[in-house]
Structure 1
Amino acid sequence: MPVYAVTYTYTDDSTGRDAHRPAHKEFLGALAEQGINLCSGPFAAGEAPGALLVIRAANKQTALAATDNDPFRVQGLVSDVSAREWTPVLGPLAAQLS
């Protein structure tokens, strides 16, 4: 099944993210337990606020739909979300993700 790089661009509402982070992490953890969220995390300090999620899904629409109920998205803390199919080829994770 294909792998997608899903990117979030966060709004400037860091207080809202702090308030909803536990539910956000629980949601993404449940996706991980289902084998959908392969890896996720925020961009580092100094980068534009956002996150990268590596999602396994049948197609781009399904990858995006997997994040529809993420509390960050539900609460309007994500201003933009996009998905691009990604083909892991080299490196230690490539064999695990292919």
Structure 2
Amino acid sequence: MGFEGEVWRLMRQEQLFGEIVIDEADFPWLNGRFVPTPTFIEMKPWFDESLGRLEAEEYEQFDDAYDRIADTLSLVAPSSPVAEFLLHISDDRAWFRWSDEPFEDG
């Protein structure tokens, strides 16, 4: 499957917060250049906090911080929205995995 060059969108309902231009696929992760819209500034602290918690190995706090992202935003593949995703954004880079079906708890 060739994902490179695809453009994925970060949305809240009909509002676009940014686009991810895929430049690397390392299954199950896709990586790309993140191009934010001016409104992304509203969500940037959420991504900063969740990534900081993950890097500090504060997994329970990461889950709480990330839930806000997952509950508010959607990730839209070139063809349609995905059911569930795990997305990290740092500066102009984004990396994520996704599923057409909800992730299993565990």
TM-score for both structures, normalised by structure 1: 0.32
Q: Which has the higher contact order (CA 8 A, sep 6+)?
A: 1
Higher helix share: 1
TM-score for both structures, normalised by structure 2: 0.30
Higher strand share: 2
